[in-house]
Amino acid sequence: MSGDDLKLLLEQAEAEISTADAPRIEALRVSLLGKNGTVTNLLKSLGGMEPDARKEAGARINHLKTQITDALFARRAVLDDAALAARLQAERVDVTQAPRPEPLGSLHPLSRTVEEIAAIFGAMGFVLKEGPDIESDWNNFSALNIPSHHPARAMMDTFYLQAAPHERPAVLRTHTSPVQIRTMLAWAAAQASGEAVEPIRIIVPGRTFRADHDATHSPMFHQFEGLVIGQDITLAHLKGCLIDFLRAFFGVPSLPVRFRASYFPFTEPSMEVDIGWSRRTGEIGGGTDWLEILGSGMVHPNVLANVGIDPRKYQGFAFGVGLERITMLKHGINDLRLFYESDIRWLRHYGFAALSPASLHEGI
């Protein structure tokens, strides 16, 4: 074949390839490059040529083969791309629709507060203790220097469980302080039996109960209690510990904290603690108003003696905080009763994500 013939063949082939669809491409490949294809046959014809002519024609035919091969390949790529584009177009979905719903759970704000408290007091070397809700009269009152006639008992509207005749009725604990008693009894007993004991630093969150039910009182609520006992714990430590806690909890490093003399049967001196806030805006640490936030004091010598600790050797402080109160303040919750109502809308609104643990290193 002459050079012109080959050129013509190439032009014809390229023209056909450029418009071919996928089956036609394959047919063209067979007819051109297959076992009996035009180009294959041309190559076969080389065998009958003189060496010089063969060399020259071979180069031309092989070049033709390469060009056709490339054209087929290119066309196939174009067709593949077009097919893919068409498929992708067909696979289009409306991404504005919502994904498959994954019901979101939540943690109750009170749980969150307990975790935050644990994180802060954990950093101060405290241990978290718990105790039963149903308590003996002695643990809840007498051991805490509240004898049966004490006016302070009237201040706490106590729930009693039904009791058999001649049996002292159990009480629903009116505060978390019985856990102080349990802890100190065990500590004093361990020490008396010669065990090496660490000074006490505990916090005690838990359910508490008083027979009071209105907009600002719930018959069940939560407190957390703190107790620190050692040989050289002073009222200055009480102040430092509570100031450190309040500033960390509310996230206000310069939070004003005020201590006022007060009275609780189980501490002496006793004090109430106020924090600065704005009554108008509710901003903690802002404004010029004071807000009572917790009660505290040095553990009363009688309480220590009641559990077998010699107040000449050991002293310390205790405090009690309403969990709901500090939770409401921190998160701007205004209705106490809704804490226990379990309204799914409230739980979703104030609840915390499952995967947001309260930790100091992540910030609480």
Within 44-63, which residues bind another protein (CB under 8 A)? none
What CA–CA distance (Å, rounded) separates 299 from 306? 12
Indicate whether 337 belongs to the interface with another protein (CB under 8 A).
Answer: no
Nearest CB to another protein, comparing residues 251 and 357: 357
CB 120 within 8 A of CB 108: no
Piece of 9-17, 22-30, 73-81, 143-151 that binds another protein (CB under 8 A): 143-151
What string of DSSP letters covers 181-218?
Answer: HHHHHHHHHHHHTT---PPEEEEEEEEEE-S--BTTB-
Give the residue among 288, 287, 239, 237 at the shortest CA–CA distance from 260: 239
Query: Should residue 154 be labelled a site residue for another protein when binding is judged by CB under 8 A?
Result: yes
Which one, 11 or 212, has the nearer CB to another protein? 212
CA distance 244 to 119: 13
Closest separation between CB of residue 26 and another protein, Å? Answer: 36
Distance in Å, CB of 219 to another protein, minimum: 5
What is the DSSP annotation of 163-175? --TTSPPPEE-SS
Nearest CB to another protein, comparing residues 60 and 138: 138
> For the residues of 3-27, what is the DSSP string, one character each?
HHHHHHHHHHHHHHHHH--HHHHHH
Does residue 35 interact with another protein by CB under 8 A? Answer: no
CA distance 246 to 228: 17
Does position 342 interact with another protein (CB under 8 A)? The reply is yes
Looking at the Cβ atoms of 2 and 196, the one nearer to another protein is 196
Binding mask 162-191 for another protein (x = CB under 8 A): xx-----xx-x------------x--xx--
Whether 296 contacts 320, CB under 8 Å: yes
* Interface with another protein, residue 125, by CB under 8 A: yes
Smallest separation, CB 279 to another protein (Å):
14
From the list 17-25, 158-166, 276-284, 329-337, the region that binds another protein by CB under 8 A is: 158-166
- Looking only at residues 303 through 332 of this chain, which bind another protein when binding is defined by CB under 8 A? 304-313, 315
Q: Which of 40, 62, 69, 106 binds another protein (CB under 8 A)?
A: 106
Report if residue 250 touches another protein, rule: CB under 8 A. Answer: no
Please check whether residue 263 is in contact with residue 270, taking contact to mean a CB–CB distance below 8 angstroms: yes
User: Considering the complex, what minimum distance in angstroms separates the CB of residue 319 from another protein?
Assistant: 12
Q: What is the rounded radius of gyration, in angstroms, for the C-alpha atoms of the chain? A: 42
